[in-house]
Structure 1
Amino acid sequence: MNKTLLAALLPLFVVGCAATPDKTALQAQGISVDGASTVAFRSVRVEGTTLQGSLKRIGRNPVHFGHLDYTVTDASGKTLQSEQTDYSGAIKQRRSPNASRFSIPLKQAWQPGVHRASIVWHDQPHQP
């Protein structure tokens, strides 16, 4: 009985461990992401002076409203850049398997260990 239970639960532990390095790798770069229950962040990275990645719909329904808020700070916590940004509309389509890409131009070159970024998804329309 115990061996059967262990054999059934082992794949769940492996999947849980496999998902952890992505978030840990982002935190090591100084990037934190927070999505609502409707989207998940994928492939978030800094390339040159651009913070980019994609959003994937978690459920089956389209995402009608939403926007990204982002903040870039230095090591002391001083805000260097803070705005709202748009994304491509792929997640608004009902059956689109494609992720919705976003690209955020940074005002300064990214310095790991010095700069920190926070990206947050909101399920509300973009507000000016």
Structure 2
Amino acid sequence: MLAGKLPRLSTITIEDAEWAIGSVRMEDIGCLATFSSVRDLHVVNVTLTNVAQLSRLVSALPQLRALWCYNIDCVQKQQVSPAALPLNCATLNDLDVRWVAPAVEDLFVQISRASRQKPDFAGREFHI
């Protein structure tokens, strides 16, 4: 319902949050796909249950082009498998990641590699 009231929403910021186990369901994250105009995502001072939540969040925003993640921690320390990369990771133009948990850093290194394998991605900025 909120997406219909904000049809031109271009930026989502998630700040000072703790996504405890069970507090944010994967299907709830998927509902963000209704915000089809979101191109920028800022995630700042957030503790996730696992890195899959962040991967799902990025996937849920089909027009996402810029992603900034600062001070992100994960309760579960496992690495993400390449199969779990966000579906739209190759469309990111700007990626800025600072002070993140190793599992989060690994996710973004994989996203960066996937994006750079595409021949039309020259000029993209990735800061990890």
User: Which of the pair is proportionally richer in strand?
Assistant: 1
Q: Which structure would you say has the larger RCO, counting Cα contacts within 8 Å and 6 or more residues apart?
A: 1
Q: TM-score, normalised by structure 1?
A: 0.23
Which protein shows a greater Rg?
Answer: 1
Q: TM-score, normalised by structure 2?
A: 0.23
